[in-house]
Structure 1
Amino acid sequence: MDEPVFRPLRRFGWWWVVPPALVALVGVLALVASGTWAGPFRNVTEVRAMLASKREFFQDPEVKRILLTHGLRVHVTPVGSFDLAEKEDLDSYDFVFPSGQTANERVKERRAGKHTVPYRPFFSPVVLSTYRDYAEALVRAGAVVPQQDGGELYYDLSIETLMGLIDDKKLWTDFGVDTQNRIIVQTPDPCRTYSGAVYVGFVAFAAQRDTPKSEADTIALAQRIKSYFNVEGQHLEDMAPKYFSPEGRTFAPIAVIYEHQFIAYQAASAQPDRDRVLLYPRTAHQSVPELISFGALGDRIGELLMQDADLRKRAVELGFRLLGAGGKPEEDFGAFVSGRGLPVPRLSDTRAYLPDVPLFELMRKEVGNCA
């Protein structure tokens, strides 16, 4: 019988063990640094929210990360401001975030007698976006002037003069741009979006320099200005994605967007995009969205937006102008914008006053042929 042969176990070198250990260590350090290291080992509370255009804030990866460090995750249901305010299942959410006063007031009206707490963490002016050659054409047409210290990125706009160009069916070729298209403004749907409705208010105020005081006056004014919107054809919900796309010029030479969308785009670019510029109406309107809480979870999110330093810093990085606890603008926006090598846009002190909420509702529905 053969003697059994004993083969010693092959000895593993240290180099077989160290690489996996290093990978694990690097992973742990990355989780600790990101603030999410405890994620798999603790409860995360899901907060249900219905949001209009400001949903992009809660869809931002960095905002999601910061909220996770507080054990919170926001599940976003996207919807236009005016659709949001009329949703049948409104009460099933922890908070809503419409973009402007009209929708805010409608939500509060429907929530009468229930927990309804508003938070106003930031604001963003409604502006018009265009491209440099189109802006220079509007300078030649007398509709815009460059802002002083605007670095050729910002212009002040006369809505009245722009309306005159549309009335006269002027073409871009009339002012040196090689396209036979008419000069028009492309707006988001005023039936669904607050920015689209605000542009209705801009045009109405420019046409009359006053707000209507009765239903009859409101309908008459709406019918006067309706042609400025009918000429556009089909409305989209949000013009910003089209404007910032490489094919943006073919969709809308002038589009209504929010300032924060432009600032966030510029801040994320390696170099300022000097082909894309903003037009600031001389009679301005600031969109002050309200996060409206329906309970304890909504309150928690609202308080974090007002108090958490990381969330507020991120809001500025996404282009928003901060509001403090007293409702006054804070200085972070200007410092951030200039720190990115961009000029700080100047806001007009002149306001475009919108009609009272019931009359404004009547006006936008008449102009937009809303169902």
Structure 2
Amino acid sequence: MKRVLSLILATGLAIGVIIAIVLGRGASDTVTVRGVIGSEKLPFFADPAVRDAFARHGLRVEVDPAGSRQIATTVNLDNYAFAFPGGAPAAEQILRRHGRTAKYAPFSTPMAIASFQPIVDVLAGAGVARRGAGGIWIFDVRRYLELVEKGTRWDQIRGNTAYPVRKNVLVSTTDVRDSNSAAMYLSLVSHVANGDAIVQGAEAERRVLPLLSRLFLDQGYSENSSEGPFEDYLAVGMGKTPLVCIYEAQFVGRAVTGQIRPGMVLMYPSPTVVSKHTLVPLNSGGDRVGRLLTSDPALQQAAARHGLRTADAARFAKVVAENRVPVTADLVDVVDTPSYGTLENLVRGIEQGYGPP
């Protein structure tokens, strides 16, 4: 009996050792990969489903948020495995600066305007807002710029009893000196200000710069993260932020989590631009992250839940249908961004208006 008991104990001990070895090996095989990302993607990377998906491939992905222009120009990338700004122009600059060629664009999102129904009704009366196909609200950039050129205040819009405040009609943005969302907004308004053409060359830059500067300088203080003004929109309401330039994904993602309240409205600028979230791998670990974001079904599904459009349009369509988010399925009125060099010239021109820090 003692011998049988000894054999059982020995067998149990051996099994325990094997389990410990296997578990220990699994823990030691997990590789930590660190990247710097546009702040708008922070909720995605913090999602437990995203962490679990990476873990199944032996990766622990840690990220630091920063403005996309900062990532492209001032952030020291030496200690990162990948850089993941919010737009293609910033990614192209990173590729040039670091002599890289590989890149991944796992998802994209168009720029949009978040507002409130009373504000939209006022803008409709002024010819700035109108209903498009499927009842989607369209924000007419040309009519908006006409109001800005005249220095129109909200209380000067005829028939405005919903928001008769003594401040200029302006879309709130992030700081154009730091943030990709502001650079995307700059891209679309510059296209309209330049006679519906991409800004190219010094003469065109000089011609549009005075109006573009007003769009940003007249806002006063702006945050360098796209989450900042959108959080104000969600928490404070239209008193502080009647119009805010956002990524469509931000609105859809918050609708999925039940944070979009009745009366909050998503509008699409006409024209708009699409922000292609482009990952630049800086080593083999970063390359693995880029490949997985592009190809792993669980990560692609998580991206759709966060409001991001992937190569499989059906995923995004299913998410917005299930959560009854009024979005435009087919993006038609889309323009290209200027070159990175042109955007930099415009940003530097606007920057001069801010004065010394």
TM interval, shorter chain, is: 0.7 to 0.9
The answer to whether the aligner puts 1:59 opposite 2:46 as a matched pair is yes
Q: Is the CA contact 2:266–2:326 (under 8 Å) kept in the aligned structure 1?
A: no
Q: Corresponding residue for 2:95?
A: 108
Q: Corresponding residue for 1:260?
A: 249
The answer to whether the aligner puts 1:298 opposite 2:286 as a matched pair is yes
Root-mean-square deviation (CA, aligned residues, Å) is 2.3
Q: Is the CA contact 2:149–2:211 (under 8 Å) kept in the aligned structure 1?
A: no
Deviation at 1:277, TM superposition (A): 0.8
Structure 1 residues 368, 198: CA separation in 2 closer, same or farther (over 3 Å shift)? farther
The answer to whether the aligner puts 1:242 opposite 2:232 as a matched pair is yes
Q: Corresponding residue for 1:19?
A: none
C-alpha offsets along residues 192-250 of structure 1, whole Å, 9 cap, x if unaligned? 111101111222111122223322331332134312222111111222221121x1323
Query: Which segments of 5 or more consecutive residues in structure 2 lack a partner in the other structure?
Result: 1-21
Alignment of 1:161-172 (within 5 A): 161-172=143-154
Alignment of 1:76-155 (within 5 A): 76-87=63-74, 89-112=76-99, 114=100, 116-150=101-135, 154-155=136-137
**Counterpart-to-counterpart distance in 2, 1:169 and 1:99:** 31
**Counterpart-to-counterpart distance in 2, 1:348 and 1:291:** 23
Task: Choose the corresponding residue for 2:322, options 311, 314, 339.
Answer: 339
Q: Is the CA contact 1:147–1:346 (under 8 Å) kept in the aligned structure 2?
A: no
Other structure's SS at 1:290 match: strand
- Whichever of the two has the greater Rg, that structure is 1
Q: Corresponding residue for 1:357?
A: 340
Identity %: 25
Q: Corresponding residue for 2:264?
A: 276
TM-score (norm 2): 0.84
Q: Report the number of matched residues.
A: 323
Most deviating of 60-69 and 136-145: 60-69
**Counterpart-to-counterpart distance in 1, 2:231 and 2:50:** 20
The answer to whether the aligner puts 1:230 opposite 2:217 as a matched pair is yes
Structure 1 residues 217, 343: CA separation in 2 closer, same or farther (over 3 Å shift)? closer
Bigger helix share: 2
**Counterpart-to-counterpart distance in 2, 1:40 and 1:266:** 41
Other structure's SS at 2:134 match: coil
Query: Which segments of 5 or more consecutive residues in structure 1 lack a partner in the other structure?
Result: 1-36, 324-328
**Counterpart-to-counterpart distance in 1, 2:154 and 2:296:** 47
The answer to whether the aligner puts 1:195 opposite 2:178 as a matched pair is no
**Counterpart-to-counterpart distance in 1, 2:24 and 2:324:** 37
Q: Is the CA contact 2:190–2:199 (under 8 Å) kept in the aligned structure 1?
A: no
Query: Displaced runs of 4+ in structure 1, greater than 4 A?
Result: 37-41
Structure 1 residues 353, 296: CA separation in 2 closer, same or farther (over 3 Å shift)? closer
Q: Is the CA contact 2:248–2:307 (under 8 Å) kept in the aligned structure 1?
A: yes
**Counterpart-to-counterpart distance in 1, 2:59 and 2:122:** 49
**Counterpart-to-counterpart distance in 1, 2:287 and 2:198:** 35
Task: Choose the corresponding residue for 1:287, options 275, 282, 293.
Answer: 275
